[in-house]
């Protein structure tokens, strides 16, 4: 749904957002969790359940007229750039914004929920 990306962020929760993600490559899948702090919504970190691995994300709005967000993720020193468009997003029945991005060498799923 083209409006899910923008509509999700129109009502900003006072506590920020909770993020869950899975990142899969040929060597397997890893899960990460974290929060998006409202004081710095453009940068957030996700950590593995054992708190040893951190993925740093940076977000930038590409186009206000066509909902598009550019996410950049640091994967062990390798920068992965993701353009998130309406076709990659959907609102789930339980209140999450679901972002699915499938590329040739990885699959990334991000669930964002208002806290």
- Better pLDDT: 10 or 28: 28
- Predicted local distance difference test score (pLDDT) of residue 3: 64
Domains in the chain (CATH in brackets) are 4-114 (2.40.128)
- Predicted local distance difference test score (pLDDT) of residue 78: 77
Indicate the pLDDT class of residue 73, thresholds 50, 70 and 90: confident
Give per-residue pLDDT as tens, 28-63. 999 999 999 888 888 899 999 998 878 888 888 777
- Predicted local distance difference test score (pLDDT) of residue 1: 42
The whole-number average pLDDT for the span 84-102 is 85
- Predicted local distance difference test score (pLDDT) of residue 95: 82
The whole-number average pLDDT for the span 2-31 is 83
Burial of 58 (0-12, 13-18, 19+ CB in 10 A): middle
pTM: 0.80
């Amino acid at each position: 749904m083209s409006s899910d990306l923008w509509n999700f962020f129109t009502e900003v929760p006072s506590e920020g957002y909770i993020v869950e993600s899975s990142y899969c490559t040929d060597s397997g899948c890893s899960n990460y969790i974290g929060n998006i702090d409202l004081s710095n919504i453009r940068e957030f970190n996700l950590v593995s359940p054992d708190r040893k691995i951190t993925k740093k994300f940076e977000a930038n709005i590409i186009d206000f007229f066509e909902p598009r967000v550019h996410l950049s993720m640091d994967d062990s020193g390798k920068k992965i750039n993701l353009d998130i468009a309406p076709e990659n997003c959907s609102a789930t029945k339980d209140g999450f914004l679901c972002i699915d991005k499938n590329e040739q060498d990885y699959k990334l799923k991000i669930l964002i929920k208002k806290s």
